Structure 1
Amino acid sequence: MTLATPMPGERLLFAPGVVGHVLGSGPPLLLVHSVNAAASMAEVRPLCMHWAATRTVFAIDLPGYGESDRSERLYTPRLMTDALHAANAVIRQRSGVVAVDALAVSLGCEFLARAAAEQPAAWGRLALVSPTGFMGRKVWRAAPGSTRAMPWLYNTLARPLWAQALFNGLTRPGVVRYFLQRTWGGKTIDETMWADAVATARAPGARHAPLCFLGGHLFSADIHTVYEALRQPVWMSHGVRGDFTDYRGKAIVAGRPNWRFTVFDSGALPYFEHPAQFNAEFGAFLAG
């Protein structure tokens, strides 16, 4: 176990090395965490606990994070998207539904959007919380499947002589707290989430995916094309405090009839700060 507070529910494998947890009963709902130096499904625990009352909730640890395989390899949008395709197949087989509703956070939204664009019939309603790819006015419509990787930076960060020391420094408890406070926009952070982040960053191999993240390998250079390809109902939400407040780029989808938007007086994780309001909005969206 790589979390200070174990996740509830049944542990299951979506694919070799891709771990999930499932709890609750009712129509299925997949939850996808963000990507950073110390991410895991613990980031969506409050949503798991709330929605398990009416839904069968599946939470995934993306490759390189939490309980999933953290081997040394190149972590890319393709690897993450394929993990979501695998999770989707397992969920549909277990539940018998045709399309799976899902929620993702931050960079996890890019992977969920790509999966839904590639297999539209297999995905239902999509909730994107503080999605990446909308900062500023830059257009991201490069070649399909291309990334924003900076190989020179990744090769520098991942050098064996200092890679582990660098990662250890980035995930010291005080540093993790600092970045969470910036994510929360200066507000009091969730202490359980902080403890989980510190704990999961100490697992063997925990540095590999985050160093790919820092080197740009996990960001899609065609993400606007992907977002524009979505035909499912999409609910995008974000906050107005902290490091993740520039969503000017959402203008590319603002006029599309299948997209709706909610702005919270929060940091990047509004379901922690305003759970009642967030879950009411999310519930209305799921209900159609």
Structure 2
Amino acid sequence: MIQKAIRKLSLPLFASAGITAAGLILYQRISLHRASRKGDKTPFESYTTPDGVSMAYERFGYGRPVVLLHSLHPGASRREWRPQIEKLAKDFRVYTVDLPGYGQSDKPTKPWTAYQYAKALHSFLSDVIGKPVALAAANGGADIALVLSMLYPEDLEKMVLISPEGIGRGFATPNDTQQLKKLLSPVIGTQAFLDGTSKKALRLLAEELFYQKERMPVDFVKNLKQNARYGKGAQASYAGYVTRFAAADTKQAFASLSLPFLLIWGERNVRNSAVYLEEAENLQEKGEFMLFEDTAALPHMENSKAFGQILKDFLSEEDLERKAM
């Protein structure tokens, strides 16, 4: 009698759980479908790496080549460098690139390592530009630039680095990566991805990236949301971010730099403290170092006018030296 009662009670519970799971899966599919329709529609050129990965990029102006590389966080893309393009394009051939897994580039179904990113970037520089470049890169993108400098030093003439994360945080730890399998899984992982790329979550991220919130572009969070969920491999990109899969200890690469470089840190960077600027100065006797007051992780956006002038002056130093001779 008791067993029969338990069976009678269990059937509705299991049925309810099944309906709930089915509803959750339907919600996830609808959310992902909407994201695919609302992705960034900015026109771009496309480059396909030897491994078959398509990379979106834009080019502006004429002159010596300058490549601008974005940060590595949910929704990051080449749009990050928009405030600097007009000024630079008057004197340089400017390339803005979406790394694989970001923006309008292909999003691989598994997270990438820093080595894979550096290899793809090397292929782009070799095949599209074909000569050494000046490279400006921010945050996680700055670590990719430093890995590139170790593997393919012939690709670079100058570097501008904004708060490389590897100088402070180094490689991912086992504690960082233990969630990877779960985050890549269907249903549970997909829900974590949708929660982590919700408008609320991305707004909280944006508020960490900017110290002076009034300087945040009005469409910044909207653009993050467009890019964070766009593409079949977007969940893998998010999993890679959460687990710091692409993290690298770039202290050695930075200490080994022999080309002209400028290292910039936002004074109010809560994601990667400015105390690491002093550590970086202890690693290098060459180069230039600068602390940007009242900015956080994106000084090139938050104080774009001052940053743009400093960037242009640094990139033009060789021309000024020639004129003085």
TM-score for the superposition, normalised by structure 1 = 0.86
Per the TM alignment, residue 245 of structure 1 is displaced from its structure 2 partner at its CA by: 5.3
Q: Unaligned 5+ residue runs, structure 1? A: 141-145
SS of the residue aligned with 2:137?
strand
Identity value in percent: 21
**Distance 1:86-1:208 versus aligned 2 partners, 3 A rule:** same
Which residue of structure 1 aligns with residue 146 of structure 2?
A: 113
Q: Specify the code of the residue in structure 2 equivalent to 1:196.
A: N
Superposed, which structure 2 residues align to 1:1-288 within 5 Å?
3-4=39-40, 6=42, 11-13=45-47, 15=49, 16=52, 17-93=54-130, 97=131, 99-135=132-168, 140=170, 148=173, 150-188=176-214, 189-204=216-231, 205-220=233-248, 222-244=249-271, 246-255=273-282, 256-265=284-293, 266-288=295-317
Residues in 1 aligned to 2:253 and 2:227: alpha-carbon distance in whole angstroms: 31
CA contact (8 A) 2:263 2:290 kept: yes
Q: Specify the code of the residue in structure 1 equivalent to 2:148.
A: A
Per the TM alignment, residue 100 of structure 1 is displaced from its structure 2 partner at its CA by: 0.5
Q: Specify the code of the residue in structure 2 equivalent to 1:118.
A: L
SS of the residue aligned with 1:262?
strand
Deviations 1:160-182 (A, max 9, x none): 23112111111111221121012
CA contact (8 A) 1:12 1:22 kept: no
CA contact (8 A) 2:57 2:95 kept: yes
Per the TM alignment, residue 109 of structure 1 is displaced from its structure 2 partner at its CA by: 0.5
**Distance 1:14-1:254 versus aligned 2 partners, 3 A rule:** farther
CA contact (8 A) 1:130 1:269 kept: no
Residues in 2 aligned to 1:237 and 1:219: alpha-carbon distance in whole angstroms: 19
CA contact (8 A) 2:88 2:312 kept: no
**Distance 1:202-1:249 versus aligned 2 partners, 3 A rule:** closer
Per the TM alignment, residue 35 of structure 1 is displaced from its structure 2 partner at its CA by: 0.6
Q: Specify the code of the residue in structure 1 equivalent to 2:218.
A: E
Residues in 1 aligned to 2:287 and 2:159: alpha-carbon distance in whole angstroms: 10
Residues in 2 aligned to 1:287 and 1:2: alpha-carbon distance in whole angstroms: 39
Which residue of structure 2 aligns with residue 143 of structure 1?
A: none
SS of the residue aligned with 2:90?
coil
The structure with the largest alpha-carbon Rg is: 2
Per the TM alignment, residue 32 of structure 1 is displaced from its structure 2 partner at its CA by: 0.6
Bigger shift: residues 51-60 or 244-253: 244-253
Per the TM alignment, residue 156 of structure 1 is displaced from its structure 2 partner at its CA by: 2.5
**Distance 1:196-1:114 versus aligned 2 partners, 3 A rule:** same
**Distance 1:171-1:157 versus aligned 2 partners, 3 A rule:** same
CA contact (8 A) 2:67 2:135 kept: yes
SS of the residue aligned with 1:133?
helix
Q: Unaligned 5+ residue runs, structure 2? A: 1-36, 318-325
CA contact (8 A) 2:135 2:159 kept: yes
SS of the residue aligned with 2:300?
helix
CA contact (8 A) 2:40 2:104 kept: no
Per the TM alignment, residue 28 of structure 1 is displaced from its structure 2 partner at its CA by: 0.7
CA contact (8 A) 1:22 1:58 kept: yes
Residues in 2 aligned to 1:195 and 1:45: alpha-carbon distance in whole angstroms: 15
